[in-house]
Amino acid sequence: KRKGMIFDLDGVIVDTAKFHFLAWRKLANDLGFDFTEDQNEQLKGVSRVHSLHKILKWGGMELSEEEFQRQMDLKNENYLSYVNEMDATEILPGVTKILDYLIGNDIPFALGSASKNARTILKKIDLLEKFDAIVDGTDVTKAKPDPEVFLIAAEKLGVKPEDSIVFEDAVAGVQAANRANMTSIGIGDKSNLGEADYVFSDFTEIEREFIEQLLRK
Ligand code: BG6
Ligand code: MG
């Protein structure tokens, strides 16, 4: 059976989740309030525009359309200042090994990210050419937890949703994978990612036998 894998980017391939957090927190602080790590979990995987809506709600604030746009641009500028410093050493432990395994065994894999900066980041870390398909925030109309991003990715790989395996660090992303009828693998903390079919703290915890078993199913 032809199987394919789909990787989220932020928090799965690279630890850009921490840069998103820093940039959003600066925005909130500049507007005069703060938010917690717990609230930050709810921002993971969530599109830029939805994230700002959530944050403003937490701060009990409303912005004009113009100011909303300006704040989104400022956040992204700040975020990109961190991205600019990135190189291949930022690829999270165990990721290169699994990608090389997939390449060596002719198993297709795609990127499925909400980010509009995905291609910029993949280029910075020298992974742009490795993916068989890239679906990002510029390709979708519906944000995670909607399954659209993963369904498009599976289609581009030529695999059925039920034969697709998704790696995600975000609650919204795990939900998107589940709604797409795909196998969901959470990367992170079990206490947040309990809805996933499997959870690992990072890729170094995933044994080759586990991957082989998933591919045989
Ligand atoms: C997701 C991140 O991958 O992309 C979110 O987890 C982020 O934190 C979203 O808001 C959109 O990213 P960007 O780079 O287009 O602002
Ligand atoms: Mg993520």
Instruction: Examine the residue annotation and report whether 146 is marked as an active-site residue of this protein.
Output: no
Average pLDDT (159-185) is 97
Tokens of residue 192, six digits: 């947040």
Ligand 1 and 165: CB distance under 6 A: no
d(CA 151, CA 181): 9
pTM equals 0.95
Residue % of the chain over a pLDDT of 70: 100
d(CA 167, CA 193): 11
- Residue 102 in this model has a pLDDT that exceeds 90: yes
Q: Which residue intervals of 158-207 are DSSP H helices?
A: 171-179
d(CA 28, CA 20): 12
- pLDDT value at residue 169: 96
Ligand 1 and 14: CB distance under 6 A: no
Instruction: Examine the residue annotation and report whether 163 is marked as an active-site residue of this protein.
Output: no
Best probe residue, ligand 1, of 24, 73, 115, 140 (max atoms within 8 Å of C-beta): 115
Q: Confidence class of residue 217 from pLDDT cuts 50, 70 and 90?
A: confident
